[in-house]
């Protein structure tokens, strides 16, 4: 029997975790439905299969005499539930179960859980936290004859990445246009009250049910209707956000996991949770940005935790920095000459052709990014804006 670390969803975003595990001498078994997935190329054992059905993965592991020590934390959407099923089947210690991960990846169940809906009784959530309403908005499934009760609205898929197919509408005409472009019979879509305020990304960890924030990021968002994040600037921890997330962690029953959350701080200072996932953040945030800004690699510390080694998620330092994604539709030339001028400490430049308008997470990821240092948040934003203006002139 060969002990392995398992990867569910071996996209390019999994490569960081796979490499970190292999550096420790761990063997990695990776699963993905795409034979060209980047993680499959570097794993010790690679399998192409449907990852939404955990039975597929369990059978493959058993047939190949592979014993999962744990599932590596990688950015993944709905199929995080497969991780929960594997945790349960193989009785992997210090992990979360299928029901908890289902609550976090089904956006309607997630809303009902935090909103005070009856779904909670199905998932054994403690009576002591049941009266709290952490999502005081409307959220409904869109049917063909659905009539909105209010505007403005966020329209988004019930399952999958938080950056996929998210649109806003401010009136009935805009809603009807969106409805004509989506297939509500092929996939569930939700209509949710649009909440205004400052959007914050949160990276942290839950150990024994206690949440610890490692980094918070103010998001810079594209205009309506697509509302995609094109930059993140590091900010100090907002204690009200951490307290709000701790309440959500208790309601959802999260015990041990890395955690990525998106929240909105409203004008009155109250906190609204957009979504929360027991996994590391993607878009180069946990793999590149966080180690540069805090000195903490969430994946490395999580591996320490799972291997019963000393671990510490406390930031070693704090740098004021911004990660700017290249959200333009033109080719970049001679990027190297700009590195020192704009205090860029890390970058990846993938643009070889015009890529069109930014509409979702995938259309951002392929373009590249730059991590920019500054004396404060405003200087980081100013340098990022000047960089883009310079590139447009190039």
Helices (H), the chain: 15-23, 38-42, 54-63, 80-89, 98-105, 107-115, 119-122, 172-181, 239-252, 290-294, 298-306, 361-365, 377-393
Report whether pLDDT(363) > 90. Answer: no
The pLDDT of residue 123 is: 47
Three-class secondary structure of residue 171 per DSSP = coil
194-204 pLDDT tens trace: 999 999 999 99
User: Bigger pLDDT: 227 or 214?
Assistant: 214
Give dist(CA 48, CA 42) in Å, integer.
Answer: 14
291-328 pLDDT tens trace: 999 999 999 999 999 999 999 999 999 999 999 988 76
Three-class secondary structure of residue 7 per DSSP = strand
Length of the chain: 394
Give dist(CA 291, CA 75) in Å, integer.
Answer: 16
The pLDDT of residue 93 is: 96
Beta bridge partners of 8: 31
The average confidence (pLDDT) of the chain is 90
Task: Locate 299 and state its tokens.
Answer: 């994946």
Beta bridge partners of 371: 323, 346
Residues 221, 230 contacting (CB under 8 angstroms): yes
Report whether pLDDT(394) > 60. Answer: no
All structural domains of the chain: 2-92 (3.40.50.20), 139-193 (3.30.1490), 198-393 (3.30.470.20)
Exposure on the CB side of residue 313, measured as CA atoms within 13 A: 20
Report whether pLDDT(329) > 70. Answer: no
From the number of C-beta atoms within 10 Å of its C-beta (0-12, 13-18, 19+), residue 173 rates as exposed
Q: How confident is the model at residue 52 (pLDDT cuts 50, 70, 90)?
A: very high
Mean pLDDT of 236-254: 96
The pLDDT of residue 374 is: 95
Cis upstream peptide for 302 (omega within 30°): no
The pLDDT of residue 171 is: 97
The CA angle 107-108-110, to the nearest 5 degrees, is: 60
């Amino acid at each position: 029997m060969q002990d392995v670390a398992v990867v569910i969803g071996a996209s390019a975003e999994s490569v960081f975790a796979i490499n970190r595990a292999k550096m420790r001498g761990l063997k990695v078994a990776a699963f993905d439905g795409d034979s060209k997935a980047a993680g499959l190329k570097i794993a010790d054992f690679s399998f192409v299969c449907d990852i939404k059905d955990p039975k597929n993965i369990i059978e493959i592991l058993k047939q190949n005499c592979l014993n999962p020590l744990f599932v590596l934390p990688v950015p993944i959407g709905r199929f995080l539930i497969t991780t929960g099923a594997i945790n349960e089947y193989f009785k992997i210690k210090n992990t979360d179960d299928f029901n908890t991960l289902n609550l976090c990846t089904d956006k309607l169940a997630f809303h009902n859980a935090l909103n005070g809906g009856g779904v909670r009784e199905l998932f054994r959530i403690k009576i002591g936290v049941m009266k709290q309403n952490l999502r005081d908005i409307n959220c409904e499934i869109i049917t063909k004859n659905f009539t909105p009760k209010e505007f403005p609205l966020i329209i988004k898929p019930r399952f999958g990445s938080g950056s996929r197919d998210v649109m806003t509408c401010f009136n009935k005409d805009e809603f009807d246009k969106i409805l004509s472009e989506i297939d509500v019979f092929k996939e569930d879509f939700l209509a949710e009250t649009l909440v205004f305020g400052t959007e914050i990304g949160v990276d942290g960890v839950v150990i024994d049910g206690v949440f610890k924030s490692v980094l918070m990021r103010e998001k810079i968002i594209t205009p309506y209707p697509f509302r995609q994040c094109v930059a993140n600037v590091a900010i100090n921890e907002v204690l009200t956000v951490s307290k709000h997330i701790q309440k959500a962690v208790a309601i959802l029953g999260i015990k041990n996991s890395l955690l990525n959350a998106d929240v909105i701080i409203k004008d009155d200072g109250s906190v609204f949770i957009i979504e929360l996932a027991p996994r590391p953040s993607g878009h180069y945030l946990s793999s590149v940005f966080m180690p540069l800004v805090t000195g903490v690699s969430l994946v490395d510390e999580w591996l320490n935790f799972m291997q019963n080694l000393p671990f510490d998620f406390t930031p070693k330092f704090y740098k004021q920095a911004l990660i700017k994604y290249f959200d333009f539709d033109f080719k970049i030339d001679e990027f190297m000459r700009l590195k020192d001028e704009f205090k860029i400490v890390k970058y990846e430049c993938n643009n070889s052709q015009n890529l069109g308008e930014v509409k979702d997470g995938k259309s951002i990821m392929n373009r590249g990014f730059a991590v920019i240092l500054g004396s404060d948040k405003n200087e980081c934003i100013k340098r990022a804006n000047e960089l883009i203006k310079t590139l447009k002139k190039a």
